[in-house]
């Protein structure tokens, strides 16, 4: 691809006054909340109960109340299924194991709003932030400022993409998409003001603190930016200070995370530790299971994990959370504390030896997981909501569900309610089809655009290279997310759906360069016809 002097983005029409921008954001937030309003309540996922309980425990510690609970009523797997009873949760250290994967920021935020004010405020805050980011992205990256098209874009994203679900989901997943928008704005938006730059950097830092997968994704984006600075073609289109802003944001996030871990250990007497997700992933992929069986036959003391050898696990969640109790298999979370600690200590050694023993098998499994995760973009979690939590996870304690709007009749008669209905099924099908179509369109567009650009005729598209660089950056971030989540944790729809709504947003931003590309291709076809 030939390099050319960078052309600035076409100057958009004069921006609206701050009052009009505020009105757009408020109207957009209401539009984004419509799916949950139709549903009658915010969308739940099993893990929100854990965020709620951790937020409660943090405030009790800070305010001098009761000690943090050592065993919340029920652990929750990533994929719903029967959860172990509270008595089997493992006792000592359970709270620290769960707390390592549950951001204190979102825990306190969710607990305070849900228990003290209204769960709807959680959706409203997420919707306001999403509406502002989308309005700014459309204006700064696409030059789209007129209220009608902006609100139509928001309505389309709410109804036809996973955003309408995730913005109303009581989980921090939507902040992964918000973080990526902030990164793209820092990298490609012209004329960002200092207050906006500081706010976007703070949003990246806070989002990276919400979940480890978001931190790793932001680090991958930082690596892309650094590489882009060394590539002559992309260098002119990347904001010069963008890598520095992103590096500072991530350094702050990791510092706060370290301080939180230190404070949590001092307060609870137990270090924060995540369950051995990577061990379970390698085991479920096949190489881990084969290596374990071989090693344990030779030496039953080779690993603490030998206690799990010979049992059949349906998924990696079975090994971690004991999702399939009917099989009578042991699980990490129901094991004694000393066994859990031994498994955590040996995770690195087990993973390394399993991968080196069967490298090709692991490579194929990892590639397959990444591909499946990349195209798994549904909102199936809409069926794993409050009713399922009440019936299978909370035992006799409704926890956060006691504060769920319009849920009192289900609390009184759990068997009379169900999460599945015609609305959920139809919306899930529509969103999934639209998300896959938009993803396929982006892939085809990038292929055609890139191939045309590297031809001699493609020099006429040099003025649109900033947009091409933006689109490739988004695609690489989507691929990085699929690898981070699918290949190192587990393949779940919400991991990719939390980002795939950025694809139709990107296509809206690209509408002008796509018209230019279409005109160039049409002219070329006529010339050779």
Q: How many CB atoms within 10 Å of residue 118?
A: 14
Report pLDDT for 85: 36
Name the strand (E) or helix (H) holding 319.
helix 316-321
What single DSSP character describes residue 293? H
Burial class (CB in 10 A: 0-12, 13-18, 19+), 507: middle
Q: Where are the domains of the chain?
A: 13-171+385-418, 175-271, 277-375, 426-529
Q: Yes or no: say if 404 and 42 are a contact pair by the CB < 8 Å rule.
A: yes
Contacts of 492 (CB under 8 A, 6+ apart): 78, 79, 373, 376, 485
Report pLDDT for 36: 93
Report pLDDT for 242: 92
Which portions of the chain are predicted below pLDDT 70?
Answer: 1-17, 64-100, 268-269, 323-328, 394-397, 528-529
Report pLDDT for 70: 41
Alpha helices in 418-510 (DSSP H): 422-453, 465-482, 493-500, 502-509
Q: How many CB atoms within 10 Å of residue 429?
A: 12
Report the interhelical angle of 287-298 vs 359-375 (nearest 10°).
Answer: 150
Q: Yes or no: say if 24 and 151 are a contact pair by the CB < 8 Å rule.
A: yes
Contacts of 483 (CB under 8 A, 6+ apart): 366, 370, 373
Report pLDDT for 116: 87
Report pLDDT for 179: 97
Q: Which two tokens stand for residue 468?
A: 């091409």
Q: 511 to each of 464, 477, 505, how far by Cα in Å?
A: 11, 21, 10
Report pLDDT for 521: 83
Report pLDDT for 9: 45
Report pLDDT for 5: 42
Count of H helices and E strands in the chain?
Answer: 23, 0
Report pLDDT for 94: 60
């Amino acid at each position: 691809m030939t390099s050319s002097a960078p052309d600035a983005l076409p100057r958009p029409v004069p921006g609206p006054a701050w009052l009009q921008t505020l009105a757009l954001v408020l109207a957009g937030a209401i539009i984004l909340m419509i799916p949950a309003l139709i549903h009658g309540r915010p969308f739940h996922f099993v893990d929100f109960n854990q965020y709620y309980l951790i937020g409660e425990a943090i405030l009790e510690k800070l305010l001098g109340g009761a000690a943090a609970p050592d065993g919340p009523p029920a652990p929750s797997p990533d994929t719903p299924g029967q959860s172990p009873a509270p008595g089997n949760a493992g006792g000592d250290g359970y709270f620290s194991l769960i707390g390592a994967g549950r951001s204190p920021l979102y825990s306190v935020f969710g607990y305070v709003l849900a228990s003290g004010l209204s769960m709807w405020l959680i959706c409203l805050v997420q919707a306001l932030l999403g509406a502002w980011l989308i309005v700014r992205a459309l204006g700064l990256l696409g030059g789209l400022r007129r209220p009608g098209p902006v609100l139509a874009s928001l309505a389309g994203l709410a109804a036809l993409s996973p955003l309408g679900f995730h913005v109303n989901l009581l989980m921090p997943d939507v902040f992964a998409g918000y973080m990526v928008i902030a990164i793209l704005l820092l990298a490609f938006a012209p004329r960002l003001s200092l207050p906006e730059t500081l706010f976007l950097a703070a949003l990246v830092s806070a989002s990276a603190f919400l979940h480890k997968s978001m931190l790793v994704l932001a680090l991958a984006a930082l690596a892309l930016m650094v590489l882009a600075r060394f590539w002559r073609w992309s260098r002119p289109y990347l904001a010069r200070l963008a890598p520095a802003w992103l590096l500072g944001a991530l350094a702050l996030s990791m510092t706060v995370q370290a301080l939180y871990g230190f404070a949590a250990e001092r307060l609870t007497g137990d270090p924060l530790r995540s369950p051995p997700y990577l061990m379970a992933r390698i085991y479920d992929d096949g190489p881990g299971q084969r290596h374990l069986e071989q090693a344990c036959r030779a030496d039953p003391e080779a690993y603490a994990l030998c206690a799990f050898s010979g049992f059949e696990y349906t998924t990696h969640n079975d090994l971690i959370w004991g999702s399939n109790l009917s099989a009578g298999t042991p699980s990490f979370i129901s094991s004694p504390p000393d066994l859990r600690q031994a498994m955590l200590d040996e995770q690195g050694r087990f993973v390394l030896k399993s991968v080196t023993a069967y490298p090709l098998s692991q490579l194929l499994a990892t590639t397959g997981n990444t591909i499946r995760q990349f195209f798994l973009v549904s909102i199936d979690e809409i069926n794993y909501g409050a009713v399922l939590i009440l019936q299978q996870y909370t035992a006799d304690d409704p926890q956060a569900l006691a504060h769920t709007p319009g849920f009192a009749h289900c609390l009184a008669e759990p068997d009379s309610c169900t999460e599945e209905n015609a609305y959920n099924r139809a919306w899930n099908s529509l969103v999934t089809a639209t998300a896959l179509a938009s993803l396929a369109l982006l892939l085809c567009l990038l292929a055609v655009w890139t191939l045309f650009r590297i031809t001699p005729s493609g020099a006429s598209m040099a003025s649109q290279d900033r947009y091409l660089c933006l689109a490739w950056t988004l695609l690489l971030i989507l691929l990085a997310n699929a690898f981070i989540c699918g290949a190192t944790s587990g393949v779940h729809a919400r991991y990719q759906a939390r980002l795939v709504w950025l694809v139709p947003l990107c296509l809206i931003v690209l509408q002008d360069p796509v018209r230019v590309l279409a005109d160039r291709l049409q002219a070329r076809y006529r010339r050779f016809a």
